[in-house]
Amino acid sequence: MMDRILIEALEVDTVIGAYDWERLIEQRLSLDLQLATDIRPAAATDDLTLTLNYAAICERIQRFAREHDFELVETFAERLAQTLRDEFAIDWLRLTLRKPGAVPAARSVGLEITRGTLPGTQPESQ
């Protein structure tokens, strides 16, 4: 069993894109995250320091977006996942990234990645 902290439709503005015109502007990305952690210690004590603070994680993601200017959404997602796993006690995460407006005929394009190991499961090859 593993609980998950959820962040849904977090909007960040960043320079992202492979084409010349995209290097000159910021575009909006929308992020969904599932962060596996055992919530029981925090629930038993009502202590924020014993869980993943979703507000702090959202602020870190906003800062990450401001500080980077990748070409590919793949790079943004991979590097963000690594940063979050390095800085927070996240056993496993699933990150869904959407780039609305990148393809006018589509509501959004994007990707989903999962990283880490859910306790009690086999590690995925990475």
Positions touching ligand LV4SOB2L (CB under 6 A) are 17-19, 22, 72-74, 99, 102
Nearer to ligand LV4SOB2L, 29 or 35 (CB): 29
Number of C-beta neighbours around residue 44 at 10 A: 9
Q: In the complex, what is the shortest distance from the CB of residue 101 to ligand LV4SOB2L, in angstroms, rounded to a whole number?
A: 8
Nearer to ligand LV4SOB2L, 92 or 98 (CB): 98
Determine whether 99 is an active site residue: yes
Beta strand 92-100 with 27-37 is antiparallel
Q: In the complex, what is the shortest distance from the CB of residue 24 to ligand LV4SOB2L, in angstroms, rounded to a whole number?
A: 13
* Catalytic hit among 90, 99, 110, 116: 99
Alpha-carbon distances of 25 from 20, 64, 105, 123, rounded to whole Å? 10, 17, 21, 39
Closest C-alpha to 30, from 95, 75, 103? 95
Q: Which residues are catalytic?
A: 99
